[in-house]
Amino acid sequence: MRVFGVDPGLTRCGFGVVDGGPGRVVRAVAVDVLRTPVDAPLSVRLHELYDGVCVWLDRYEPQVVAIERVFAQHNVRTAMGVAQASGVVALAAAQRNLPVEFHTPSEVKAAVTGSGRADKAQVTAMVTKLLGLKVAPKPADAADALALAICHHWRAPMRNRLEEAQARAAELARVHKAKLAEAARRSGS
């Protein structure tokens, strides 16, 4: 499976494409940071970001897009810009019928370092190690995008197993209910 990880932002947006192999093997395919001009109108910046995302989606053809979930930050204006950026990334994916999953920063940190409160240096160090890179990806947004993609690779099977278990439980409950109804019908007739 190929995952496109995106650390959304207007000033710097991290892009990371990671392939998953057997077991926990992960391999970096591409990584970069897209910048949009700080002095341009917001709508123009969103347009540039959207065009950049479309180029990456069409070039690398991932099966899923993983985006960092935005939370209210210290700076409300920045948080809103990040949310708007994540919106156009999700749109570009949906236009290609690709599933989009959001992961919180602490889920991403926990997935690659074992701690949801790891700092940026620790995340970068683990991403470099897990992907077997010769140099650490820079800036932090690039490393974060790769970390997001790795997080998705490792969380997705767990999530799928959970969903399958839930579906099985729901099916068993349905069958059980039907049997009870059948028994009630017979005893009544």
Binding site for its own copies (CB under 8 A): 41-44, 46-47, 50, 65, 70-72, 76, 79-80, 83-88, 90-91, 93-95, 99-100, 102
- 58 labeled binding residue: no
Residue partners of 145: CB distance under 8 A and separation at least 6: 5, 6, 7, 14, 15, 16, 31
Supply the minimum distance, in Å, between the C-beta of residue 3 and its own copies: 15
Residue 127 corresponds to which tokens in the numbers above? 């991403």
* Residue in the structure block whose two tokens are 């990456």: 56
Is 68 an annotated catalytic residue?
yes
Given the complex with its own copies, which of 86 and 124 has the nearer CB atom?
86
Given the complex with its own copies, which of 81 and 137 has the nearer CB atom?
81
Q: What angle (nearest 5°) sits at the alpha carbon of residue 52, between those of residues 19 and 138? A: 60
Cα gap 155→64, rounded to integer Å: 13
Given the complex with its own copies, which of 104 and 122 has the nearer CB atom?
104
Nearest Cα neighbor of 152 from 103, 187, 113 is 103
From 7, 39, 164, 171, active-site residue: 7
- 68 labeled binding residue: yes
Cα gap 167→163, rounded to integer Å: 6
From 39, 48, 107, 141, active-site residue: 141
From 58, 68, 101, 182, active-site residue: 68
Is 182 an annotated catalytic residue?
no
Does residue 6 come out as left (phi exceeding 0), alpha (psi in the -120 to 50 range) or beta?
beta
Supply the minimum distance, in Å, between the C-beta of residue 74 and its own copies: 11
Mark the binding-site residues for Mg(2+), compressed into ranges: 7, 68, 141
- Residues annotated as catalytic are 7, 68, 141
Mark the binding-site residues, compressed into ranges: 7, 68, 141
